[in-house]
Amino acid sequence: MRRFGLDRHTTLIITGDHGERLPDRKSFRYGRNGAWLDPDQFRVPLVIINPPVPVARPIVRATARHIDLMPTILELVGVPAPPALDGLSLVPLITGAEPDRRVDVFGETGFHWVPVAPPYLGYLPMTEVVSFRLDARGALIPRYFLRQDCLPRADLARHRFIRTARHQLNYRPTIDGARLELYDFVEDPDLERNLVDARPDVAAALRARLFRWALGDPELTVRDGRLATRDPAALARCAPRG
């Protein structure tokens, strides 16, 4: 960039899609049942280099979310953001115009590419081979498609969470309903002490906020106190055998 004279007027952003839980902690559960909401997976690198914008704080410790990237980029390049975005620009935090920010963080798992064991809600393998191709070395490479008939059950089986400035509430679908886990990650950064029974007031308030967010999906509703698909028969389709 310096060679071509671009370093003084080019915005460079380095980030990732998720963090990792590597085997350097007291437990290593990456990819195991029940471990999809580990806090280490929320710590995503984000480096912004934008020479034209004055930097008041080289390190911003306020909460930043992936949905904040779009409005941030638009503000950095001087393009108005569309109305009704879920995210907020991080530029005020970078320049010091906004000293701190407290926002709720919502998230959910994707598809389970490994078998999900009880008590968690699982489904049949999400892939089916639709074609094959040969790579440059002559190896046979399968091409997969998601099974469309399994999508409603797969959507219902997502593990979801809400994270505030102090607490994290996990919603985990099970065969018989759903489990809630409440953690104080300030006092318990490894999320080992479930406080859902000790702090029912906090759990209920966060559950209501989490459900409001999840119901932004028009295919979901609430039935018997848990998230459910609008099609009651969807839960029976694609259930694991055995």
96 shares its domain with 108: no
Cα separation, 108 vs 190, whole angstroms: 19
63 shares its domain with 1: yes
Domain C-terminal end among 53, 83, 102:
102
16 shares its domain with 71: yes
More confident residue, 126 or 202: 202
Tokens of 240: 């694991």
Domain C-terminal end among 102, 122, 150:
102
113 shares its domain with 218: yes
Comparing 34-43, 84-93, 205-214, which segment has the lowest mean pLDDT? 34-43
pTM for this one? 0.84
164 shares its domain with 88: no
Write out the residue range of the structural domain in which residue 111 sits: 104-242
62 shares its domain with 114: no
- pLDDT at site 30: 46
Tokens of 159: 């593990």
User: How many domains in the chain?
Assistant: 2
Q: What is the mean pLDDT of residues 114-132?
A: 79
Residue 17 has pLDDT above 80, yes or no: yes
Q: How many CB atoms lie within 10 A of CB 16?
A: 11
Cα separation, 228 vs 234, whole angstroms: 9
97 shares its domain with 120: no
Length of the chain: 242
% of residues, the chain, pLDDT over 90:
43
143 shares its domain with 189: yes
- pLDDT at site 73: 95
**Backbone torsions φ then ψ of 206, nearest 5 degrees:** -70, -35
91 shares its domain with 193: no
Tokens of 234: 């969807």
- pLDDT at site 27: 52
More confident residue, 134 or 112: 134
Cα separation, 73 vs 14, whole angstroms: 12
Q: What is the mean pLDDT of residues 178-198?
A: 94
Q: Is the dihedral of CA 155, 158, 164, 167 positive or negative?
A: positive
Q: What is the mean pLDDT of residues 49-76?
A: 89
